[in-house]
């Protein structure tokens, strides 16, 4: 596709529900990143894939957060048993590889009630 | 935790004026990137400058990098109302992949 796409754009979940957020990177981009952006703050790194390999998950805030990219293209970020503090915009980015520009999707705004 | 800090936190100027935003960071880097974010939208990549570069231009944008001071600046010349947005700098903090962002500068251009 022309750019990174994410779905859904908005998600409202009740506390305790599981959610799944999808990211479609730019075709051919081997690197894929997930970031979390709280209101009024810059994005914070969650996890990074190179093709299907998850090379860095140091930013995932708890074991309730899980990400996968099984075929090296589309990625899913799953949050289990959502909490109110998980409310944020979740941004996905892709790039041709290390040391290159990262291109971001529009984000998914998650609100946990 | 965030790597860098943008300065100022907020900036309000008249259309046609120039806007300068600064970014400081803490660790060695391979590159630094500037992004724009309009309210409620995703990040738009503006420019990437590598650690061995000192200045880069793209249209009305001029970015400088001083690795000895661990700082960068973004200059927007002849600003327009459409430039109103939040601007973020991000470094790779030496990793080459994940980005570490500052808290951003909110720019308002009044017409």
What per-residue confidence (pLDDT) applies to B1?
Answer: 44
Lookup: tokens for B66: 């001083």
Res. B5 pLDDT band, cuts 50 70 90: confident
Query: How would you write the pLDDT of chain A (113 residues) with one tens digit per residue?
Result: 589 999 999 999 999 999 999 999 999 999 999 999 998 899 999 999 999 999 999 999 999 999 999 999 999 999 999 999 999 999 999 999 888 899 999 999 999 99
Neighbours of B47 (CB within 10 A): 17
Measure the CA angle with vertex B66, ends B64 and B69; round to 5°.
Answer: 140
Q: How far is B8 from chain A (nearest CA, A)?
A: 14
Cβ contact (<8 Å) for A33 and B88?
A: no
| CA distances from residue A72 to A50, A52, A99, B66 in whole angstroms, order as listed | 8, 4, 19, 37
Which residues sit opposite A22 in a β-bridge? A7, A76
CB B93 within 8 A of CB B102: no
What per-residue confidence (pLDDT) applies to B7?
Answer: 84
Q: Which of residues 33-92 of B touch A (CB under 8 A)?
A: 33, 35, 40-45, 48, 50, 88, 90, 92
What per-residue confidence (pLDDT) applies to B54?
Answer: 97
Quick one: how far is CA B13 from the chain centroid? 17
With 50 as the cut, is the pLDDT of residue B108 above it?
A: yes
């Amino acid at each position: 596709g022309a750019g990174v796409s994410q779905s859904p754009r908005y998600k409202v979940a009740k506390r305790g529900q599981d959610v799944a957020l999808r990211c479609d990177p730019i075709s051919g981009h081997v690197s894929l990143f997930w970031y979390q952006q709280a209101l009024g703050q810059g994005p914070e790194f969650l996890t990074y894939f190179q093709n299907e390999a998850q090379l860095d998950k140091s930013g995932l805030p708890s074991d309730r957060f899980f990400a996968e990219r099984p075929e090296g293209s589309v990625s899913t970020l799953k949050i289990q048993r959502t909490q109110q503090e998980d409310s944020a915009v979740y941004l996905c980015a892709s790039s041709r590889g290390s040391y290159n520009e990262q291109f971001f999707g529009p984000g998914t705004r998650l609100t946990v009630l | 935790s965030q790597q860098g800090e943008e300065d100022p936190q907020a900036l309000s100027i008249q259309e046609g004026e120039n806007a300068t935003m600064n970014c400081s960071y803490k660790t060695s880097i391979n590159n630094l990137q500037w992004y724009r974010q309009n309210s409620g939208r995703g990040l738009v990549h503006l420019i990437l400058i590598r650690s061995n570069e000192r200045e880069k231009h793209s249209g009305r944008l001029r970015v400088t990098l001083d690795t000895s001071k661990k700082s960068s600046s973004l200059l927007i010349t002849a600003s327009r109302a459409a430039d109103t947005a939040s601007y973020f700098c991000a470094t790779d903090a030496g990793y080459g992949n994940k980005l570490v962002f500052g808290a951003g500068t909110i720019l308002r251009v009044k017409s």
